[in-house]
């Protein structure tokens, strides 16, 4: 019994050793060493290490073309700078509009107004309804700018319709008759003012006239001939008043460089043809200050404020479109809109400048 037990135990041990040997044979490939990857040569070269590892306080290098760190302005400041730049651009555009308005655009407007005034005055002459004085048939002052005469000076190529009044606004359309003086051809002194440079500058060459040059003026009372007596600058003596029944014409414009006048230039001419009866003029005390020489027209202030507000609102709208829709949308809308409003505003500004410029 004991012998059989020992033999069975021996067989069990032997079976266990065989099983262990088989298990070891199956697991041996899993325990084989795995070959290591090739070592990076850069790991063996200490010089290729990141310099920032040696100097923790240094800033990391920046990519080429990237903006410097810390130079980007805050969003609020950036918006303010952009709005300021747009405001300066609009202001510069207004200055260009003013120059264009007084120069090129003003000259075109002057020619247009002269054509209209000449057509109107020619009809009045044909119908014998042209004014013979500063009052109409109802005894009321003539409307400002109403045509009252045609001035012709062959020596300097002038042929201009003269309007009633001498404010800066009236003189944009051409020479103007000072309302507290008689019309040309009537006894006494008749005064006609005109611009030297702006809005066509009809009196630009007035200073080249000489004694003996002839001037012709056509009014509702006929054709009147004048002869130049002298040119008067600042501080020159004033000629004596014409004798009773005689007439004189005085032409007035700015004296000095264009748009930078030093004073006033006057040309005196005596009437050669017989004087015609006077029909009345505005009393001197009733003449507004804006119709004196080298004065601006303060009545243009109200329309200037109104159009200025319209321009400011339009400019704000264009800036809004630029921010919301983009640059090209703002250009397409803003250029014609702000251009038209800019010309209108600068036309009112020009009325505030001296009337003989």
User: Residues 134-171: pLDDT tens digits?
Assistant: 888 788 889 999 999 999 999 999 999 999 999 999 99
Distances (CA, A) of 265 to 36, 60, 195, 273: 106, 75, 11, 25
Strands 188-193 and 247-255: parallel
How many independent structural domains does the chain possess? 1
In a domain, 151, yes or no: yes
- Give domain status of residue 211, yes or no: yes
Task: Say if 346 falls within a structural domain.
Answer: no
Best-predicted range by mean pLDDT among 41-45, 91-95, 108-112? Answer: 108-112
In degrees rounded to 5, what are phi and psi of residue 147? -70, 135
Judge whether 196 lies within some domain.
Answer: yes
pLDDT digit string, tens, across residues 186-204: 999 999 999 999 999 999 9
Render pLDDT for 297-308 as a digit per residue (tens, 0 to 9): 999 999 999 999
Q: Which of 174, 178, 158, 169 is nearest to 113 (CA)?
A: 174
Mean pLDDT within 208-224: 96
- CA distances (Å), origin 319, targets 81, 92, 335, 343: 13, 16, 12, 19
Considering the domain boundaries, does residue 260 fall inside one? yes
Q: Determine the pLDDT at residue 71.
A: 58
- Per-residue pLDDT band for 292 (boundaries 50, 70, 90) equals very high
More confident residue, 78 or 3: 78
Residue 230: name the closest of 203, 247, 257, 209 by CA: 209
What distance in Å separates the CA atoms of residue 17 and residue 76, rounded to the nearest whole number? 85
Place of tokens 């003449």: 287
Whole-structure pTM value: 0.73
CATH code of 260's domain: 2.40.260.10
> 153 lies in which domain range?
100-125+144-287
pLDDT at 206: 95
Segment 69-90 shows an average pLDDT of 68
pLDDT of residue 218: 97
238 secondary structure, DSSP code: P
Tell me the pLDDT tens digit for each residue of 218-229: 999 999 999 999
**Percent of residues, the chain, with pLDDT higher than 70:** 78
Buried b (16+ CB within 10 A) or exposed e, 31-68: eeeeeeeeeeeeeeeeeeeeeeeeeeeeeeeeeeeeee
| 2-60 per-position pLDDT tens digit | 444 444 444 544 554 544 445 444 444 444 454 544 555 444 554 445 544 555 555 55
In a domain, 258, yes or no: yes
User: Is residue 25 domain-resident?
Assistant: no
Whole-number pLDDT of residue 146: 96
pLDDT of residue 61: 57
Residue 73 clears pLDDT 90, i.e. is over it = no
Q: Are 85 and 92 in contact (CB under 8 A)?
A: no
Quick check: is 236 in a domain? yes
The span from the CA of 163 to the CA of 150, in Å, is 9
């Amino acid at each position: 019994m004991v012998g059989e037990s020992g033999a069975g135990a021996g067989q069990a041990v032997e079976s266990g050793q065989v099983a262990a040997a088989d298990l070891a044979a199956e697991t041996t490939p899993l325990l084989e060493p795995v070959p290591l990857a090739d070592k990076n040569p850069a790991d063996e070269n200490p010089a290729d290490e990141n310099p920032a590892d040696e100097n923790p306080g240094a800033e990391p290098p920046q990519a080429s073309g990237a903006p410097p760190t810390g130079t980007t302005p805050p969003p609020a400041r950036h918006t303010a700078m952009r709005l300021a730049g747009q405001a300066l651009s609009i202001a510069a555009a207004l200055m260009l509009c003013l120059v264009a308005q007084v120069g090129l655009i003003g000259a075109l407007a002057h020619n247009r107004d002269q054509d209209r005034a000449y057509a109107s005055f020619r009809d009045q002459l044909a119908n014998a309804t042209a004014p013979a004085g500063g009052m109409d048939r109802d005894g009321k002052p003539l409307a400002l700018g109403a045509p009252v005469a045609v001035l012709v000076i062959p020596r300097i190529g002038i042929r201009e319709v003269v309007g009633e009044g001498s404010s800066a606004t009236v003189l944009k359309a051409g020479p103007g008759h000072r309302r507290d003086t008689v019309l040309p051809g009537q006894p006494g002194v008749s005064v006609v003012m005109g611009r030297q440079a702006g809005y066509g500058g009809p009196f630009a060459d007035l200073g080249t006239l000489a004694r003996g040059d002839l001037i012709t003026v056509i009014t509702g009372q006929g054709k009147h001939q004048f002869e130049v007596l002298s040119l008067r600058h600042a501080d020159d003596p004033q000629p004596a008043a014409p004798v009773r029944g005689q007439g004189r014409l005085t032409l007035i414009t700015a004296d000095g460089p264009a748009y930078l006048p030093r004073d006033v230039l006057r040309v005196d001419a005596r009437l050669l043809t017989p004087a015609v009866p006077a029909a009345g003029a505005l009393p001197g005390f009733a003449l507004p200050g804006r119709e004196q020489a080298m004065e601006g027209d303060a009545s243009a202030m109200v329309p200037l404020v109104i159009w200025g507000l319209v321009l400011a609102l339009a400019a704000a709208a264009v800036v809004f479109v630029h921010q919301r829709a983009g640059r090209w949308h703002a250009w397409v809308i803003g250029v014609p809109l702000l251009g038209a409003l800019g010309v209108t505003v600068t036309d009112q500004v020009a009325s505030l400048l001296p009337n003989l410029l």
